[in-house]
Amino acid sequence: AVCSMGNSTSRLYSVLAKTLSSGTVSQHQDCLEQLDSAQLDPIDPKDLLEECQIVLQKRPPRFQRNFVNLKKNTGSNHRPIRVMQWNILAQALGEGKDNFVQCPMEALKWEERKCLILEEILAYKPDILCLQEVDHYFDTFEPLLSRLGYQCTFFPKPWSPCLDVEHNNGPDGCAMFFLKERFELVSSANIRLTAMKLKTNQVAIAQTLKCHETGRLFCIAVTHLKARTGWERFRSAQGCDLLQNLKNITQGAKIPLIVCGDFNAEPTEEVYREFSNSSLNLNSAYKLLSPDGQTEPPYTTWKIRPSGECRHTLDYIWYSQHALNVNSALGLLTEEQIGPNRLPSFNYPSDHLSLVCDFSFNQDPDRLL
């Protein structure tokens, strides 16, 4: 394995172009232990973005998306907290299992696709980043994002489907990143979700953070529930287990909560209703983009598989509506931008759209609880 991530005098291209050779997670972990990412030199996000753009110069430019201002007169004077939710598409699944019949294999090359992913992250500059289907954590996201000032956490699936793919890069899982200059980690929990009292292959990370600027505590969680039709009751049970864990962590909603995830569930499913009706008083941030403020977007994923076209709303950012305000949300890609071959593509690296919201603390959180 190539363990060198370069030094302060080398071009960052060496970081982007040289991915660790395929191997087990333990090999990646050994490599990181030798490196200790905290000791690596910081990198300027502008330099990293420039290097990504060099790699991507033969690809079409990234799509333009605009933030929609949703802010009411909250009286908040602190900097908003930007949260990004994204299922980035595991590399092993994209190349080996997902069968995107309209997407050329060339568009899925990791050396370029990882730069598209990084470009999207760098464009929106999240304070907190929640990702699913991460199978290049140890060789790409942790080394790079730690050098951008993020504290990084990864929790792989126990039986990741990536491991069934030849030349895989280890298991996929959920990852969370937060800017250390803005937040202090108070507590962290890796949760293996249960269903019908049985441990499942799906996981979550929940971290309680303290905002340096306001001194306020809040909990941020990321998850990825079981996929596919026919597993609705299973997802519902996983959602109940996650909610119970979050109730304990937030002391029954005393600590504000944000939950990011690919729920693999349309708004018509039971697990969606469980989150909507929870005693944690959660609302789905992207509903606020609709004219009535009550309707989810028409899609957050859009792809073509051998079975046909799949256009679904599966990804959500839930938040404590008594304690937090949504100042703005990033608009979705239009059908025209996505194009007839859908996602992923040369323009966009995943079959899921990224969701980005700016949050502020309510000045009087107990009033609406």
Of 37-41, 256-260, 300-304, the range with the lowest mean pLDDT is 37-41
| Domain-embedded: residue 11 | no
**Residue 64 buriedness (CB in 10 A; 0-12 / 13-18 / 19+):** exposed
- Residues 188, 220: Cα–Cα separation, whole Å: 10
| Domain-embedded: residue 151 | yes
Contact between 21 and 2 under an 8 Å Cβ cutoff? The reply is yes
pLDDT at 127: 98
Q: Which amino acid is at 197?
A: K
| Domain-embedded: residue 306 | yes
Tens digits of residue pLDDT in 86-104: 999 999 999 987 788 899 9
Q: What is the mean pLDDT of residues 343-359?
A: 96
Contacts of 349 (CB under 8 A, 6+ apart): 88, 89, 113, 114, 116, 117, 120
pLDDT at 14: 55
SS3 content of the chain, % helix, strand, coil (to 5): 30, 30, 40
Q: Which amino acid is at 103?
A: C
Tokens 């305000």, residue located:
325
For residue 13, is pLDDT > 50?
Answer: no
- pLDDT greater at residue 31 or residue 55: 55
Q: How many CB atoms lie within 10 A of CB 360?
A: 19
Q: How many CB atoms lie within 10 A of CB 319?
A: 26
- Residues 53, 277: Cα–Cα separation, whole Å: 44
| Max Cα-Cα span within the chain | 55
Strand-pair partners of 224: 262
| Domain-embedded: residue 85 | yes
Of 99-113, 126-140, 174-188, the range with the lowest mean pLDDT is 99-113
Q: Residue 156's pLDDT band (boundaries 50, 70, 90)?
A: very high
pLDDT at 207: 98
Q: Which amino acid is at 355?
A: L
Contact between 293 and 326 under an 8 Å Cβ cutoff? The reply is no
- Residues 34, 20: Cα–Cα separation, whole Å: 14
Q: Residue 36's pLDDT band (boundaries 50, 70, 90)?
A: low
Listed residue (183, 98, 187, 189) closest to 135, CA to CA: 98
Q: What is the mean pLDDT of residues 220-238?
A: 97
pLDDT at 71: 78
pLDDT at 365: 55
CA distances from 218 to 101, 245, 257, 293 (A): 42, 15, 6, 24
pLDDT at 26: 43
For residue 308, is pLDDT > 60?
Answer: yes
- Residues 315, 354: Cα–Cα separation, whole Å: 9
Q: What is the mean pLDDT of residues 176-205?
A: 97
Q: Average pLDDT over the chain, rounded to whole?
A: 89
| Helices assigned H by DSSP within 74-141 | 91-96, 110-124
Contact between 329 and 266 under an 8 Å Cβ cutoff? The reply is no
| Domain-embedded: residue 51 | no
| Domain-embedded: residue 134 | yes
Of 132-141, 338-347, 360-369, the range with the lowest mean pLDDT is 360-369
Looking up residue 184, the CATH number of its domain turns out to be 3.60.10.10
pLDDT at 40: 77
Q: Which amino acid is at 247?
A: K
Contacts of 21 (CB under 8 A, 6+ apart): 1, 2
Tokens 């970081």, residue located:
15
pLDDT at 209: 98
Q: What is the mean pLDDT of residues 288-296?
A: 95
Q: Residue 27's pLDDT band (boundaries 50, 70, 90)?
A: very low
- Residues 339, 342: Cα–Cα separation, whole Å: 5
- Domain that residue 198 falls in: 80-361
| Domain-embedded: residue 337 | yes
Q: Which two tokens stand for residue 330?
A: 């990033």
Number of domains in the chain: 1
For residue 19, is pLDDT > 90?
Answer: no
For residue 240, is pLDDT > 50?
Answer: yes
Q: How many CB atoms lie within 10 A of CB 335?
A: 13
- Helices 110-124 and 45-55 pack at an angle, to 10 degrees, of 140
For 10, the 3-state DSSP assignment is: coil
For residue 72, is pLDDT > 90?
Answer: no
Angle at 25 between CA 316 and CA 101, to 5 degrees: 55
| Domain-embedded: residue 220 | yes
